[in-house]
Structure 1
């Protein structure tokens, strides 16, 4: 396993590529900054990868240690064994695996979208380990998702025929139906993938691979798409093949009620910075399936946490990658505030 003390600092600022052994293979990660600096673990969004922080990290304080990991089945990380679907808590446990390998006992978490949801849950389960929590286009939780089949509210869902919940939230009956329906779809989706005869990954030209990515992610610029594709695809004879595990497309998360989320977030001990984009998934009428919990969660963070800052910025769901200078200043100030709470390495 690589040692932080052996990192060298190239001119570009990218320190090293790392692999952390796990029972099914490895978790891949990349690092920037000072190996001896305050540790910041960065978590990407659904079907994205660690490259989502490529343009942001160089704008942050140089004396910090930044580590961006690829969740299992994403980027350069190993796929799970056959017969084992991905579950939301798998990503949370992967955060613990990486920090255990690094011997980090206290650190900052920064998550975009799904990464923010993972970071939020980790901060509730292991509150003593997280000193600061940065949520970019994430409320840290996604209560009782309904009317969706894929992805925890990240703007890339397949809408179902069931109606979306009202802003007052789903009823108990709707919550039960949503849970049962989601579990049925997960099981059927996984079995369907396993029943199909394995096919070699489809080879696409670089331009075709990029265009397919951009079509699935309307918030990405072409430049941002290329950055994600660098880590999200592998070059083979004839073109590129995507790296992501198809099983990661299936949303396998136990829906939490809004009340549960409010109760959980009260366990967070970290200072929290929440950055929401004006044209992001939570403010877009065309994509917003989270209206019923946005205001209650904001109020819960403000009421239950000693240090909570909500900032609305210009930009869309990928503002941190498309226009990193828009959020870098906010994050810089937040990181540097109260530096007496340094991490113990």
Structure 2
């Protein structure tokens, strides 16, 4: 992968930011043969107690900020094909969640729970000195963005959900909550006991493994995710992500219908939900119960009224990567639309 372009000058207010290039960014260009995204401004590292949160930025430093959150096991490259097509008078920052991409792993013994990722959003906004901004999240990143928008409603003016909902509501999964909690604890203990080195895999095997495990990601998009999600060693590639991160359900917090209604009433942002025709239900299993999704959408409509809009577009769960032009049209119009007063 080609090293990032020359870092843009960063104003003094970004003093918590460490402007260093990560060594994991080098050496993959010839291996994966993917060109760097157009209009990329810089790669930044934001200091946190356990290390750093890695981010990449596009657009105008003087523009209204938009923080972009990737999906489970993905990374900030998830937005490489979409953001360059959006209005460039905004300032876009795409972050790697802890344990993903180029961000530091959590300290030994510290689990990866859903609330930790909500906490990371607050740390990033504090480091960048943002008091009010927009949030855009894909899949798991959308649930983190949604929960942050409810916990800190005064800070978020617009919320963009790409194949996502603002919280996890699944009456079937909640019955398995104790099983998931037990499995999460045992998984971490097993990793700590075994202490096996990371597996070294050839670039082609790594790509094919990704495509096999995620049929919604095409080859070109898979290469993009592996650019940031792997490091090159002498005999192949190793995954960057923390091996303690295994299955999203192990870290999720599920909301009851009653709590979901209370949470949604706290939301002040204007919300756009982009739903792909072949998304959502086919990601985890084809027989997934869609009733919780429909309940959530109806709740958003009822509570937010004119502050909520949903757009369905052809594509799958990774429509923002596979068909970025169409998604960019929808998101761009939403970002530039003049806000109306919140419903009373």
Query: What is the alpha-carbon distance in structure 1 between the residues aligned to residue 117 and residue 287 of structure 2?
Result: 24
Residue 259 of structure 1 and its aligned partner are, at CA, apart by 2.4
Matched, 1:133 2:139: no
Write out per-residue CA displacement over residues 152-186 of structure 1, whole angstroms, 9 at most, x where no aligned residue.
Answer: xxxxxxxxxxxxxxxxxxxxxxx4x4332222222
2:75 corresponding residue in structure 1: 49
Write out per-residue CA displacement over residues 5-64 of structure 1, whole angstroms, 9 at most, x where no aligned residue.
Answer: 389xx9930000000111111000000000010100000000000000000001100110
2:185 corresponding residue in structure 1: 187
Tell me the matched-pair count: 309
> 2:171, 2:292 within 8 Å by CA — same for their partners in 1?
no
Among 191, 197, 200, which residue is 1:203 paired with? 200
Residue 201 of structure 1 and its aligned partner are, at CA, apart by 1.2
2:258 corresponding residue in structure 1: 259
Change over 3 Å in CA distance of 1:66–1:145 after alignment to 2: farther
> 1:145, 1:178 within 8 Å by CA — same for their partners in 2?
no
Query: What is the alpha-carbon distance in structure 2 between the residues aligned to residue 288 and residue 120 of structure 1?
Result: 25
Matched, 1:26 2:63: no
1:324 corresponding residue in structure 2: 324
Query: What is the alpha-carbon distance in structure 1 between the residues aligned to residue 37 and residue 286 of structure 2?
Result: 40
Match of 1:274, SS state, is strand
Residue 247 of structure 1 and its aligned partner are, at CA, apart by 0.9
Query: What is the alpha-carbon distance in structure 1 between the residues aligned to residue 221 and residue 233 of structure 2?
Result: 22
What TM-score do the two structures reach when normalised by structure 1? 0.85
Query: What is the alpha-carbon distance in structure 2 between the residues aligned to residue 322 and residue 263 of structure 1?
Result: 35
Write out per-residue CA displacement over residues 244-268 of structure 1, whole angstroms, 9 at most, x where no aligned residue.
Answer: 1111114222322132122211211
* Root-mean-square deviation over aligned CA pairs: 2.2
Query: What is the alpha-carbon distance in structure 1 between the residues aligned to residue 127 and residue 106 of structure 2?
Result: 19
Deviates more, 1:286-295 or 1:306-315: 286-295
Query: What is the alpha-carbon distance in structure 2 between the residues aligned to residue 184 and residue 78 of structure 1?
Result: 25
Match of 1:141, SS state, is coil
Matched, 1:230 2:232: no
What TM-score do the two structures reach when normalised by structure 2? 0.85
1:121 corresponding residue in structure 2: 147
Change over 3 Å in CA distance of 1:23–1:276 after alignment to 2: same
Structure 2 residues without counterparts, runs of 5 or longer: 1-7, 15-35
> 2:56, 2:93 within 8 Å by CA — same for their partners in 1?
yes
> 2:170, 2:292 within 8 Å by CA — same for their partners in 1?
no
Query: What is the alpha-carbon distance in structure 2 between the residues aligned to residue 255 and residue 300 of structure 1?
Result: 16
> 1:144, 1:258 within 8 Å by CA — same for their partners in 2?
no
Matched, 1:246 2:231: no
> 2:66, 2:91 within 8 Å by CA — same for their partners in 1?
yes
Matched, 1:305 2:311: no
Match of 2:245, SS state, is helix
Residue 289 of structure 1 and its aligned partner are, at CA, apart by 2.6
Query: What is the alpha-carbon distance in structure 1 between the residues aligned to residue 324 and residue 37 of structure 2?
Result: 20
1:157 corresponding residue in structure 2: none
Deviates more, 1:92-101 or 1:299-308: 299-308
Write out per-residue CA displacement over residues 211-249 of structure 1, whole angstroms, 9 at most, x where no aligned residue.
Answer: 111111110000000000000001111111110111111
